[in-house]
Amino acid sequence: MGAMILADGVRVAFTDRIGGFGTGPYDSRNLGLNVGDEPETVLRNRARTEAELGVEGAVYMRQIHSANVARVGRAPSGGEDVPDTDAVVTDRPNLALAALGADCPAVLVADPGAGLVGAAHSGRVGTLLGVVPALVAELRAMGGRDPVAVVGPAACGRCYEVPEAMRDAAPEAMRSTTSWGTPALDLRAAISAQLDDLGVKALHDGRCTIETPELYSYRRDGVTGRFAGYVWMSG
């Protein structure tokens, strides 16, 4: 895990499994509550990660595969996740926004000129519902003019096998084929197309969760933890 600069004064980081307190299928830096891990362990992992990143606090979501966007101004006390939302936006420096995942991409956005950052969890359903376009619209409603984005690790379009009917019902940009020739979805390609349509320049962390042992993958492991993409304005 290392923080990198997304834009002027904006940092992002994607965590992995390494360096936390968890055991068994959650070994070891699980950041998601409600996946069967001990809540105390999850909160310790969150505190350690936030300290390593040097942020004053972080906001996590209880994600429900929606296009709901919430504006946040502080870290909730007592480890409460923002309920029933899949995207958050803030204008507060040093407050990190986290999107959790284990195959679903975290999409982190920033508009440094307007002093805004946002994070979205954009899995299959969220991408179909347009959670990333909803987040970009919220950023622009708050004064954002020139947002940039980074799309995090995800199950790749060569691994994410789905039933044929599901692929056929997906938008063209999302349709893919596995490396073994069966129907698949490519969420990152679909999200890229959404960002392109909105005129938002996007970077990519191209890692595939299924193919990367140091990342959690629900598709690969079933019972497992969640890593996070974080975005914050430093200083």
- Catalog residues that contact Zn ion under the rule CB under 5 A: 156, 159, 208, 210-211
Distance CA 220, CA 180 (A): 16
How far, in Å, are 5, 48, 133 from residue 29 at the CA level? Answer: 23, 9, 30
Three-state secondary structure along 109-146?
EEECCCCEEEEEECCHHHHHHCHHHHHHHHHHHCCCCC
Q: For the CB of residue 211, give the shortest distance to Zn ion in the complex, in Å.
A: 4
To Zn ion, the closest distance from the beta carbon of 160 in angstroms equals 7
Is the CB of 87 or the CB of 151 nearer to Zn ion?
Answer: 151
Residue 15: count of CB within 10 angstroms of its CB: 28
**Residue 57 bridge partners (DSSP):** 95
CB of 158 to Zn ion, least distance (A): 5
CB closer to Zn ion, 54 vs 213: 213
For Zn ion, give the closer residue by CB, 156 or 228. Answer: 156
Between 44 and 219, name the residue whose CB sits nearer to Zn ion: 219
Give the single-character DSSP code of 40. Answer: H
C-beta of 120 vs 159, nearer to Zn ion: 159
How far apart are CB 161 and Zn ion at their closest, in Å?
10
Q: Could you tell me the two tokens for 61?
A: 């979501």
CB of 178 to Zn ion, least distance (A): 9
Other beta carbons less than 10 A from residue 6's beta carbon = 21
